[in-house]
Amino acid sequence: MNILAIDPGSTSTKVGVRRAGKLVKASIEHPRREMESFHGVMEQLDYRMEHLVRYLRETGADQLRWDAVVGRGGLVRPVPSGVYLVEDPLLRDLMRGVNGEHAANLGGVMAHAVAARQGVPAYVVDPPVIDEMWAVARLSGMAGIERRSMFHALNQKAVAHEVAQELGKPYQELNLIVAHLGSGITVGAHRKGLVVDVNNGLNGDGPFSPERTGGLPVVGVLQLVEQGAFTTEQLKSIVARKGGIFSYLGTVDLREAEESAKSGDGWAALVLEAMVYQIAKEIGALAAALSGEVDGIVLTGGLAFSATVVAGVRQRVAFIAPLFVRPGEFEIEALIAGALRVLTGAEEARRYTGGADEDRT
């Protein structure tokens, strides 16, 4: 079957073309300065579609007859894990950004645009808002503010299944802690096939990352607002795009930060150590949430390529459970696999209604 997968990120659009049983992946890079010229994510649609169409034309993939087109899921309303058919309610909520602004919102919209040209179905798989959290994990400490499930669900689920195969047990029988370490960091407690607790790395929860602040002292943030140092919109941008390592060192490139540390920059070394320290703390907290019953800890995402990060985390958490390292992202593979499950009848596609009380697992 011929399947096109589209995975928009903050400064790239990753593409996967499956034909004749083989998968070819590519990443269309978008300069940060160009992306920052757009005021909202949906303003990027024509720009990204132009680059996608050009890539398909240059590789000859534009001549293929697709069986399905699949895109990364976006920030819609909370839903159970699964493969979703892209229809009007899903398109509407992706374009409105009902749960926040993120490049992932473009995944389903772009997939639908390509699929509509050939009259084939478009899908999204395991959106970042899949919600399997325990009720006890939702309470934040302040009535009216609920902890929300928003994380790298697609990649976390994919590597969790892979590690389960290595351990020789079904994913549904294991307790795993999966840490996606990228431009944003999310760490999830996977208990018997469900992600029962996870930090919301996009909206200011958990460890800081190359470009996100993670959790912040609330009173300190309020004081900045009182002093007029930032508007709330500016603070939202800092939390999601200009915090973390960027806030301290002026770069989102971990390699640059590591080079500075190796060259004797003590401040850069401390910033890196603090990020690793916070990642390990988050893993330890979820080990407690699972009552210490942890079969494995998985590190994935781009930062898992860093020997410094992996060694630092390993040193602090190896006593909890065996550590598995799966560097990089496997989202394109997970998207293709999800579409194949539906096309072959192994799984039935879900229908997104857009109801405020969409059923939670």
Structural domains present in the chain: 3-130+331-351 (3.30.420.40), 135-327 (3.30.420.40)
What does the angle CA 15 – CA 236 – CA 230 come to, to the nearest 5 degrees?
140
- Nearest to residue 283, comparing CAs of 329, 327, 314? 314
Output the average pLDDT for the chain. Answer: 95
Kindly report, residue by residue over 67-121, the tens digit of the pLDDT.
Answer: 999 999 999 999 999 999 999 999 999 999 999 889 999 999 999 999 999 999 9
User: What is the pLDDT averaged over residues 324-340?
Assistant: 96
Residues in the chain: 361
Q: What mean pLDDT is predicted for residues 233-238?
A: 92
Angle between helices 105-118 and 45-59 (to 10 degrees): 50
Indicate if the pLDDT at residue 239 is higher than 50: yes
Q: Which residues contact 154 (CB under 8 A, 6 or more apart)?
A: 72, 73, 125, 126, 127, 128, 331, 334, 335
- Between CA 310 and CA 327 the distance in angstroms is 10
Looking at residue 360, its pLDDT comes to: 46
Residues 179-204: pLDDT tens digits? 999 999 999 999 999 999 999 998 89
- The stretch 298-325 carries a mean pLDDT of 98
pLDDT, mean of residues 263-290: 98
What is the rounded average pLDDT of the residues 299-319?
A: 98
Asked if residue 307 has pLDDT above 70, the reply is yes
Tokens of 78: 């909370």
Count the alpha carbons within 13 Å of 9 in the hemisphere toward its beta carbon. Answer: 20
Paired with 23 in beta bridges are 18
What's the confidence (pLDDT) of residue 357? 46
Query: Distance between CA atoms of 31 and 34, rounded to whole angstroms?
Result: 5
pLDDT of residue 361: 40
pLDDT of residue 10: 83
Q: What percent of the chain has pLDDT over 90?
A: 92
> Of 3, 2, 25, which Cα lies nearest the Cα of 328?
25
pLDDT digits (tens, 9 = 90+) for 22-60: 999 999 999 988 988 998 899 999 999 999 999 999 999
Q: How far, CA to CA in Å, does 245 sit from each of 183, 207, 352?
A: 10, 11, 37
Residue 244 in tokens? 């973390």
Question: Does residue 160 register a pLDDT over 60?
Answer: yes
Check whether 305 has a pLDDT greater than 90: yes
Res 359: pLDDT: 47
Contacts (Cβ under 8 Å, ≥6 apart) of 202: 100, 102, 128, 150, 184, 212, 240
CA nearest to 120, candidates 4, 201, 30, 20:
4
Count the Cβ atoms, other than its own, within 10 Å of residue 308: 17
Q: Is the confidence at residue 14, as pLDDT, over 50?
A: yes
Question: Rounded CA gap, 323 and 346, in Å?
Answer: 31
State the pLDDT at residue 232.
92
Does 356 score more than 70 pLDDT?
A: no
